[in-house]
Structure 1
Amino acid sequence: MHDKRVSLSDIRVQLAPWVRLHAQRRRRLLLGMLLMLLTALSALGLLAVSGWFITASALTGAVLALGGTAALDVYTPGGGIRLFAVSRTVSRYVERLYNHDTILRLLADLRGRMFAALVSMDGERLGGRRASDWLNRLTADIDTLDALYLRLLAPPVVALLLSTALVGLVAVWIPDAALWLALGLGLVWCWLTLGQARLGLTASRHRVQTLEELRSAMMETLRGLAELEAYNALARRRQQLERIEQQLLRDQWRLSIISTVGNALAAAAIGICWLSVLAVAIAAFQVGGVSAPVMVMLPLAAMALSEGLTPLPAAFTQFGATLAAAERLNHIDVQRSNTGDADELPPGPIALRLSAVGHRYPGAMFEALHDVTFNLAAGQRLAVCGASGAGKSTLLSLITGQMALQQGHIQLAGRDIGELSPECQAHSVGCLTQQVDLFDASIADNLRVAAPDASSGRLWHALEAVALADWVEALEDGLGTRLGEGGRQLSGGQARRVALARLWLTNPGLVILDEPFAGLDASTADQVSRGIEGWLAERSVIYLVHEHDPVQPRPGMQGIGLALELGQPASAAWRKGMESVTM
């Protein structure tokens, strides 16, 4: 995001996806807008009828005091005043509840859409930005978009309709003045919306960028506080943060000035409007065009414009922030394949075929993978070996669709992986990765991430398979024991076994286990291997390990006759019962 001129076509393109998403709840949005309009019209009616009634009552009282005769219906205007007073209070209360409920629903839609987009992204693209950047998009940017309806779409429409109602009211008694009033209010409306948006566009867009930079810098500082202190770099880092804060303050100060100018113009416009209407009404009264109560009623009705015009300057001054948030979120492509029976792979073990697969990370000097080719028949097991950096994790990411394929072909059950939806791949390929993600919830909740409908009995079976059932049973709360943030209540080996139990609850045709027995002693590794053997027997399996010797296998690695060593020439790869192995 850079400071640049933005055309109307650019604005339309950037906001169009979010307007369409809002349109999915058009009925709620229209009803919320009607409640806002009812509140504004009630204010106009209350001021108009009150002004007429007070003036009429005063004149009637004066006539009676002078000994004259006069009659005044106090019930009709009195009832009108009560009606408008009650409707204004009730409609405002209901409108606030209803519209904020609608906004919360919209924010849920937005976050669901963005989270689905992030989940479907490949790891390479996710790694292109810091976690704090993605978090900022999922939280702050989406929160900024709530202004699209509540501040930028509904209020200007309500203000325009309220102005139209006032012009119509004036036109009933003073038609000649209505045209000039409409022209003046139209110019004021344009300035308070388009003019304010244009003035605050650059500063508000830049403020979003600076705020993201500050959040990211703060998160990095807190994470690396020990290192910064150790290398005596904390003071320099504090200076960097202060520079960012000063830029943020400058942007906020400029926006405050622009918003203040807009508020002053709105107040001046409202004052000029009712003074002009009063002057025209007095002139009309002098020639007998209107009565005294009407002469007072019209300028008082004009004061109701504050209900519609006052919220506009502050909202449209921040228009650039909403536009910037939309631009940033538009960079997250939501690409979903159509799912259905045709997109499902057959049940049971899945065959895997790689043909001349290669991958190079952006800016890397060497390829992470080069010309990798092999066939894994359905039900077979393969050990993919290699030192750290040989490309094992890259291979896993390509097979699971977490990274886009650059070279070669990958087929699951005879189908090109590019034809399969993320949902199909997630259902067909199960992984135990080096990074174990556990939540600050109970053991049962962490296991049910994989199988929400799993019974307690099935959860216990999963724990038995990974040799954790006895340990969990000895806990005071059993399955209800909380694991702490990130599973910090567990050791590394226990955390991996909980993750393996979670995988055991799923039904993939291909299972990829990345160092599944790391952190386990030989006895526990053998016990876990025997526990999951029946489950693995029904699937194709790939082990990602540093080394594997079929003659003297490590604990838990017995019975794996196929091995592929990455980072070695083809002649160094083990071959046994394989069609081809090429590095």
Structure 2
Amino acid sequence: MSRAYSRRRCMTEATPGLFATLRPWLVHLGRRRRRLLAGAALMLLALAAALGLLALSGWFITATALAGLVLAAGGAITLDVYVPGGGIRAFALTRTVARYVERLYNHDTVLRLLADLRGHMFAVLVDLDNASLSRRRASDWLNRLTADIDTLDSLFLRLLAPALVALLAILGLSALLTVWAPSAGLAVGLVLGLAWCWLTIGQARWGLAASRRRVAELERLRGRVIEHLSGMAELESHGALAEQRRRLDAIEARLRVDQSCLGRLAALGSALAGMAVGLAWLLALWLGAQLWAAEALSGPLMVMMPLAVLAMSEALMALPMAFTQFGATQAAAERLNALEAARHPVSVSPAGPLPSQGALSVSLERVGLRYPGALTAVLDDFSLQLAAGERLVLCGPSGIGKSSVAALIAGQIVPDSGRVCLGGIEIEHFEAQALRRRLALLTQNSELFDDSLAANLRLGDPEASDERLWDLLDEVELGQWAGGLPHGLATRVGEGGRRLSGGQARRLVLARLMLRDPGLVILDEPFTGLDATTAQRLAERLDAWLAGRTVIYLSHRHDDEAMPLPGVTRTIDLTAHIGSPLCATGQNLSG
């Protein structure tokens, strides 16, 4: 790409609303304000020690040189070498210790902040409904939880604290020089102040567009690489590997352009920082020399002033690279803010809380649902009534809307129109924890984690004893198998349960579900992967557990011989109703 194109990409206009974007994350930082203030104080102490070291060293060297000249000329002079010598050692030791402690302390603080942010954002992801989650790939959500939050660690450690410390150091140095040479203090403060403004606001503004694009391109690259690796066999069989690699190369090419742009901007900022410090040094030396020539300033003080200015390079040189990448921090904050905005507010119903015991009634009233980007609505003016304790089968082929109905009832999806009620109360008024306690959902893709059998089972009840777990494994006919394993309940099941067969994984998830005490149970093909004989035996045991609960079965077809569903009182074939005049008129599907 041409240099002109690269410059145009670097000079793209910034997006508005900076304070609104960063405000939520500044609030998060404020929860650890004491640690942050202590870390900034350590940074300032290290910088002040460096400034004091150079200034006092310059004064002391000049003073001893002049004293030597006086003594060589036969004159008499008295110079206390112990106090300034001790001061130099104290400044050197303070700078070393303060710098070490500051790095250790601030990095520990940032790690704590990242843990806080990841915990918070994980809670946000948990609260998102399936419609929101389906808009992006799993790699995108992982990128939000890891890379975007990692990018935000620069907000304190590389942006706020260094800029604040540098500004305080500029003001402090100007005040110090003003004590002996007001003109030098004013000139140095003006030059370094202008440099500070450019190295923060100017660099951030100039590098905003390229750094924002870099975040988006890195996310796109990660997603493409994951797709490439996970779908290697399919891509190769369809002859699409070359095209996929071409797309990866195109993303990398755009990344190189932006990275080159940011590198040039950071180098320019570093050069300007060095020039500003050099100009301030020259002004301090020139104005100090004029005062010395007018006998208004001693020689040691004249040398001390420009050397003190040199210490400011340590404060300013850290700013260009950090603020050139500021757009990445802003973009990460915007993307995470979008997740917060996608959360659906939960209000407490004045009608009362969700009943803590007993079966729950279910009511869907004129519900409409369309997934983002879908050509047609999944549900249109759909109604359903289910009495407490009733057992219903929803039948129909894949894609007819069975899982969508279950997700609506479970609160995983918010309908576009209509109402969903449990126990006579709209589901949107329930607290999430209360709803999860009273509802059990077995989906076709229920997850098993790379942990032990016991840990995966105790997701249903963290307080369950080993004896209870063994009883449930016997209930689903896994007890004998688990008892023969070398590690028993401590046996790891592998990622996604890959060390188990499909039938074993299904029964393990079913056992986990039976640890709960819900009022409403939704079972999506509960006996998938099991032979008819085993399914029949499990159905008999499951029937006892389901007694006194409202049950909704999801099935492709209702065939008592092929798939026994215990205690069914009513069956609805969604094929006959979804999109039919029944649904269009909002007629209640009562069987």
Q: TM-score, normalised by structure 2?
A: 0.92
Superposition deviation, residue 536 in structure 1: 1.6
Q: State yes or no: 1:404 paired with 2:414.
A: yes
Does residue 301 (structure 1) correspond to residue 311 (structure 2)? The answer is no
Please state how far the C-alpha of 1:4 moved relative to its aligned partner: 5.5
Shift of 1:365: 4.1
User: How far apart, in 1, do the equivalents of 2:108 and 2:319 lie?
Assistant: 22
Contact 1:199-1:317 within 8 A present in 2 as well: yes
Q: Aligned to 1:557, which of 565, 576, 579?
A: 565
Residue of structure 2 in register with 1:372 after alignment: 382
Distance 1:201 1:366, change over 3 A: closer
Instruction: Say which SS state the counterpart of residue 311 (structure 2) adopts.
Output: helix
Output one character per residue of 1:416-446: Cα deviation in whole Å (capped at 9) or x when no partner: 0121233232222111100021111111121
The partner residue of 2:432 within 419, 422, 436 is 422
Match of residue 97 from structure 1: 104
Shift of 1:344: 4.2
User: Does residue 337 in structure 1 map to residue 346 in structure 2?
Assistant: yes
Instruction: Compare 520-529 and 405-414 and name the one that shifted more.
Output: 520-529
Partners of 2:116 and 2:238 lie apart in 1 by 45
SS in 1 for 2:419: strand
AA partner of residue 259 (structure 1): A
1:241-320 equivalences under 5 Å are: 241-320=248-327
Aligned to 1:145: 152
Q: Which residue identity does 1:375 align to in structure 2?
A: Q
What residue is the counterpart of 1:575 in the other structure? none
Distance 2:104 2:574 in 1: 61
Q: What CA distance in whole angstroms lies between the structure 1 residues aligned with 2:349 and 2:295?
A: 77
User: In structure 1, how many angstroms separate the alpha carbons of the residues matched to 2:511 and 2:541?
Assistant: 10
- 1:340–1:502 distance in 2 versus 1, CA, 3 Å: farther
Q: Which residue of 2 aligns with 1:470?
A: 480
What's the offset of the Cα at 1:495? 0.8
Quick one: which of 131, 134, 141 aligns to 1:127?
134
Letter in 1 for 2:531: D
CA distance in 1, matches of 2:311, 2:462: 55
| Aligned residue in 2 for 1:496 | 506
How many residue pairs end up in the alignment? Answer: 573
Instruction: Give the Cα–Cα distance (whole angstroms) in 1 for the partners of residues 348 and 508 of structure 2.
Output: 30
Q: What are the ranges of 5 or more consecutive residues in structure 1 without an aligned counterpart?
A: 573-578
Counterparts of residues 22-421 of structure 1 (less than 5 Å): 22-332=29-339, 333=341, 334-337=343-346, 343-421=353-431
Instruction: Provide closer, same or farther for how the CA distance between residues 77 and 335 of structure 1 changes in structure 2, counting only shifts above 3 A.
Output: farther
Q: Secondary structure at the match of 1:563?
A: strand
Q: Contact conserved, 2:14 with 2:205, CA < 8 A, in 1?
A: no
Same amino acid, percent of matched pairs: 52
Aligned counterparts of 1:501 and 1:389: Cα–Cα separation in 2: 28
Q: Distance in 1 between matches of 2:10 and 2:540?
A: 58
- Deviation of 1:262 after TM superposition, in Å, equals 0.4
Measure how far apart 1:478 and its partner are: 0.5
CA distance in 2, matches of 1:569, 1:29: 60
**Corresponding letter in the other structure for 2:448:** L
Distance, in Å, in 1 between the alignment partners of 2:346 and 2:106 is: 34
Residue 569 of structure 1, CA deviation: 4.5
Distance 2:168 2:430 in 1: 51
Q: Distance in 2 between matches of 1:567 and 1:3?
A: 56
Once residues 142 and 428 of structure 1 are traced to their aligned partners in structure 2, the CA distance between those partners, rounded to angstroms, is 34
Deviations 1:8-44 (A, max 9, x none): x511121111112211211111111111111111111
1:11 paired residue number: 18
Letter matched to residue 62 of structure 1: L
Q: Choose the corresponding residue for 1:543, options 553, 570, 581.
A: 553
Counterpart Cα distance in 1 of 2:419 and 2:322 = 52
Does 416-425 or 44-53 show the bigger shift? 416-425
- 8 Å CA contact retained: 2:288, 2:297: yes
For structure 2, which runs of at least 5 residues remain unmatched after alignment? 1-8, 581-586
Counterpart-to-counterpart distance in 2, 1:191 and 1:305: 15
Q: 2-side partners of 1:582 and 1:360: how far apart?
A: 23
